[in-house]
Amino acid sequence: MLGSFSLTLSVLLYIASKNFVSGQYSMLQLSLFFVFVTSLRNGNKDITKSDVVFFILAILALFLWKVIKQPVWSIILIVSVDILGFVPTIRKSWNKPYSETLFTYELNTIRHALSIFALQQFNILTLLFPIAWTLANLLFCILLVVRRKVEINPN
């Protein structure tokens, strides 16, 4: 789910900015979509009510994008749902802080922050996604560090 909606966001970013950074996001989102498909077959099937709610909201955001045809509202809706789609990862990591690799999220924080400087245009269409994910990854790193200090590694 996260990969498919992030791919939609990448297409919107490319249309809005016509710059290569968006193309890099598209390739990243394709790889995320592959991880999503693989996880359906091999992953944990612990689907909660909140997971279903986030999925429905993501579908709603795509529906509104097609109906309202407003790029700013489309970006706001899709980035919001994209971030909401991250909540199950946060929930899982709160309970099992060693289940995620901290280094991956540290790199993502840096990557999204640096991508802001590569933009050719600065407006809500081009800035919302990298700023939102820079903050989300940074806060998630802090959560992992704090929770790891509280919980002892089971390994």
Read off the DSSP letter of residue 123. S
What pLDDT is attached to residue 152?
A: 77
**96-135 pLDDT tens trace:** 999 999 999 999 999 999 999 999 889 998 999 999 999 9
**71-99 pLDDT tens trace:** 788 788 888 888 888 888 999 999 999 99
What pLDDT is attached to residue 1?
A: 47
Report the predicted TM-score, pTM, of the whole model to 2 decimal places: 0.67
Which ranges in 18-118 belong to alpha helices (H)? 20-42, 49-68, 71-84, 87-95, 102-117
Torsions phi, psi of 41, nearest 5?
-80, -40
- Give the integer Cα–Cα distance in Å for 132 and 25: 14
Neighbouring CB atoms inside 10 A of 120's CB total 10
Averaged pLDDT score across all residues of the chain:
80
**45-73 pLDDT tens trace:** 677 787 778 778 777 777 777 777 777 88
Biggest CA-to-CA distance, the chain: 50
Query: How many percent of the chain have pLDDT more than 70?
Result: 75
Span 22-50, mean pLDDT? 69
What pLDDT is attached to residue 32?
A: 67
- Give the integer Cα–Cα distance in Å for 24 and 26: 5
Query: What type of residue sits at position 47?
Result: I
